[in-house]
């Protein structure tokens, strides 16, 4: 599947994979471990684990930190509609973006996935 076409839970899933976070898809929504408590004796069987939705492509709480973690800049794309994600650059000096999307978060998420996996990922 082309990264430039990823949206919703599929895009969120691949962002988690790029961050090396264990992720599952449930009803089209990516889920990650949000809280782990109670592993005092080193035995994970006694741990309390809370899983929850992971939505970096639509929620700034999940997607915003990607800007700093992956050193991505985002700006409006003037040669088309939408937004562009740029790595380690000043957007107005570097030409075409590394990835684009209809929203800033989608552009950043696609750029993160492309940086780790290239232009395509398994469906």
Task: Write the pLDDT tens digit of every residue in 7-48.
Answer: 999 999 999 999 999 999 999 999 998 876 666 566 666 667
- Report the distance separating Cα 37 and Cα 91, nearest Å: 42
- Report the distance separating Cα 55 and Cα 48, nearest Å: 22
Q: Is residue 88 part of a domain?
A: yes
Q: Is 90 helix (H, G, I), strand (E, B) or coil?
A: coil
Top mean-pLDDT range of 4-18, 69-83, 87-101: 4-18
Q: Is residue 123 part of a domain?
A: no
Residue 80 half-sphere exposure toward CB, CA atoms < 13 A: 11
The pTM for the full model equals 0.84
Mean of pLDDT over the chain = 86
Q: Is residue 122 part of a domain?
A: no
What would the mean pLDDT of 56-71 be, rounded to a whole number?
95
pLDDT of residue 65 exceeding 90:
yes
69 or 46: whose pLDDT is higher? Answer: 69
pLDDT of residue 67: 93
pLDDT of residue 92 exceeding 60:
no
- The domain in which residue 60 lies consists of 3-117
Split into its structural domains, the chain has a count of 1
CA distances from 42 to 21, 30, 120 (A): 21, 28, 39
Distance of CA 65 to the CA centre of its chain: 10
Q: How confident is the model at residue 98 (pLDDT cuts 50, 70, 90)?
A: confident
Q: Is 60 helix (H, G, I), strand (E, B) or coil?
A: helix
48 or 57: whose pLDDT is higher? Answer: 57
């Amino acid at each position: 599947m082309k990264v430039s076409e990823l949206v919703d839970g599929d895009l969120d899933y691949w962002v988690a994979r790029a961050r090396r976070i264990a992720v599952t898809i449930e009803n089209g929504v990516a889920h990650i471990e949000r809280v782990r408590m109670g592993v005092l004796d080193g035995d994970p069987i006694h741990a309390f684990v809370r899983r929850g939705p992971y939505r970096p492509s639509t929620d700034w709480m999940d997607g915003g930190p990607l800007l700093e973690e992956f050193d991505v800049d985002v700006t409006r794309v003037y040669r088309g509609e939408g937004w562009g994600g740029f790595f380690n650059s000043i957007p107005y000096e570097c030409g075409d973006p590394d990835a684009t999307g209809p929203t800033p978060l989608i552009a950043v998420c696609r750029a993160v996935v492309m940086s780790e996996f290239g232009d395509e990922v398994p469906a």
